[in-house]
Structure 1
Amino acid sequence: MQIDYFTTVAQIINFALLVLILKHFFYSPLLKLMDEREMKIISRQNEAEDAKREAMREAQSYQKKREELSSEHEELLVKAKEDAREFKEDMMKKAIEEIEEMKIEWQKDLLRQRSDFVADLKKYSGLQLYAITRRALRDLANEDLERQIIITFVNRLKNLEDSERESIESFFRDPKQIITIRSAFDIPEETQREIKRELAAYADADVRVQFVIDDDLISGMVMSAKNAEIGWSVSGYLDSLEADFSHWLEKRAL
């Protein structure tokens, strides 16, 4: 078989040209396109990996925040329960203290009321006792008692103290002054003259004396002259005793 070298060479050249043409116009763009596509795929894969990693980071951050919130919520819940318990205990303590204070004040008020009642009762009883005593002594007064009172009064005039004597002498320096003698009963005229004689001993002239009946004296005689008062009466003793009793009650109340 005879080989046609020219044809063979021509075919080889045509094939080489075809390969060059295909490479230039087909394979190179195709390879470039494939490389670009591969780069895009790799880029997308990288982006996907980055997104995945970012998502994981976000998920971890979310989980961490959730755990922190859960922990804070638990702490807040525990703190709220503790605050509520302390508030309840504080309110209970204050309520107990207020109740105790009210109880103490009530007891004090009760004691004050009882003390006031006892004091009023004592005062009323004492005053009633003095009133009854006054009435009883007034009812028991008789002529014998009145005569004894007159004798006591005259003896009293005869034995005046220095201060009383000076007061009466000073009183009698004014002739217009009048001595008042109060009694719970009528004084006989003879006794009146005797009293005037005793008083005249303290004056250089006649004395002016008026005799007045005073039922409040109960039993007794009292002479009043300026700043001096001389005499004796049951009423005076009772008044003194009543004043002492009132003073004693006031001291007990303090």
Structure 2
Amino acid sequence: MMMKNVSLLLFLIFATSLSFAQTDTLKVKTDTGNVKKDRKKVEFGPGKTHYAYAYFNFMFATPPEEGTDADIFYGKSHSISYGVRYRLKLAKFFAVGAGVNYTYYAWHFKQNDNKKIPTSIIYDKEKLKINALEADVFFRFNFGKNKKSPVGNYIDIGGYGDRNFSTKRQFTNYINDGNTTGYSDYTGINTGLNYMNDINYGAEFRAGYGSMLLFAKYRLSDMFTPEFKNEISSTELPRLMIGFEIGFHK
């Protein structure tokens, strides 16, 4: 009887010890899992390994054109972009990234006797309107300190490519209709312009101070098709656009 009681006591002690050991092991595993989860959480953010943000930019065309068959209104000819970028931080001062955006271009043309682009017909107003989807890749170099912004100061150097999904030529003539107002306007629109290349590409440069950036974009490709350049005019619209960008950072 005595031996049975001793055996039962030893069994209970062993079972209790095993239970505590399993509980401690489970706690260690759970704590380790929480650490991993917390680590994953802190790896995403403005100063962390992974980061993504939305942005908006506004750019103006800058002289010169290539050729004399088109004069544009500088200050009115512009582009607007909305998009998102992803940045992968590889070192304290260096990162790589990529982005996608929607871009709208508007080219406003002066009407004079030298004009051949888009056509040689003289109107009161004329412009090209282009809608494109764009992708870009870049190298980012961080420098200095910026306590006012989580993204710091940086320079981006990269390239872009875009695909036109809508091209329009819009022209307007003002006509004297004899009414008290004197004039009415007639506006015409041509779509699906086959003399424009659908794909364009170029280089980009951005200098950022927190959420504000100065932006320069240089188009390496030609806007107009080889057939148009051979038959109508070899003039190219300005390749360089400059402006500003605003990043929406958390």
TM bucket by the smaller chain?
Answer: 0.3 to 0.5
Q: State the TM-score, normalizing by the size of structure 2.
A: 0.34
- Structure having the larger proportion of residues in helix: 1
Computing the radius of gyration from Cα coordinates, the structure with the larger value is 1
TM-score when normalising by structure 1: 0.33
The structure, 1 or 2, with the larger RCO (C-alpha pairs under 8 Å, 6+ apart) is 2
Compare the two structures and name the one with the higher strand fraction: 2
